[in-house]
């Protein structure tokens, strides 16, 4: 396992896909609230993390839960 996955897998939540994860757990005003182009760019950035690390995470500042959350495909 890689270091990022080891650090964030304990924060994993259920989601059907990366896009579902983003829609469920990313604060709307910081994701889709900034426009479709911004949302797609952010999603692409998170996809790069998935491809590189096998996990994506949202900080407590950007998460609707107020806690760190992560997604493992």
Each residue of 18-61: pLDDT tens digit? 999 999 999 999 999 999 999 999 999 999 999 999 999 999 99
| pLDDT score at 73 | 85
pTM exceeds 0.85:
yes
DSSP letter for each residue of the chain: --HHHHHHGGGB---SSHHHHHHHHB-GGGTGGG-HHHHHHHHHHHHHHHHHHS-EEE-TTTBTTSS-EEE--
Overall domain count for the chain: 1
| pLDDT score at 25 | 98
Domain range for 24: 3-71
* pLDDT category of residue 2 using cuts at 50, 70 and 90: confident
């Amino acid at each position: 396992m890689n270091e990022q996955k080891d650090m964030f897998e304990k924060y994993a939540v259920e989601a059907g896909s990366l896009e579902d994860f983003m829609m469920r757990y990313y604060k709307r005003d910081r994701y889709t609230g900034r426009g479709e182009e911004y949302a797609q760019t952010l999603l692409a950035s998170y996809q790069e993390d998935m491809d590189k690390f096998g996990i994506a995470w949202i900080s407590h500042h950007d998460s609707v839960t107020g806690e760190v959350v992560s997604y493992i495909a």
